[in-house]
Amino acid sequence: MHKKNMVHRDIKPENILLSSQINLSVKLADFGFAQTFDPKEGLTDAFGTPFYMAPEMYLGNPHGTKADVWSVGMVLSILMTGKPPFPVKSKQQLLKFFTTCTDVKLDEKQ
């Protein structure tokens, strides 16, 4: 998908499907926000589930496949720690966090 300059833009737990067979396979679902793009320009419209969106999407900056990598990182962080990596509860708080935070510290349990 990424090799074809397509970005999913809505990677979240609900869109990750796991097989229940012995040979585990992982698949992405819900390509409603997926879009091809010019890697020299990127995309500037923000689509997806707010909590899993990359900072550049919130800020209206060009984005591409790295935004999907960010979303996978968010999913993995929650899987590993059992909680979101950022101390926010709303889209507005997340935007403020992205525009003012300079350092993210994990607590000892993480």
Residue type, 95: L
Contact between 44 and 60 under an 8 Å Cβ cutoff? The reply is yes
The residue from 10, 68, 103, 107 that is catalytic is 10
Is 10 part of the annotated catalytic residue set?
Answer: yes
- How far is 44 from 81, CA to CA, in rounded Å? 31
Contact between 66 and 102 under an 8 Å Cβ cutoff? The reply is no
Single out the residue of 50, 51, 23, 46 nearest to residue 33, CA to CA: 46
- Kindly list the catalytic residues: 10
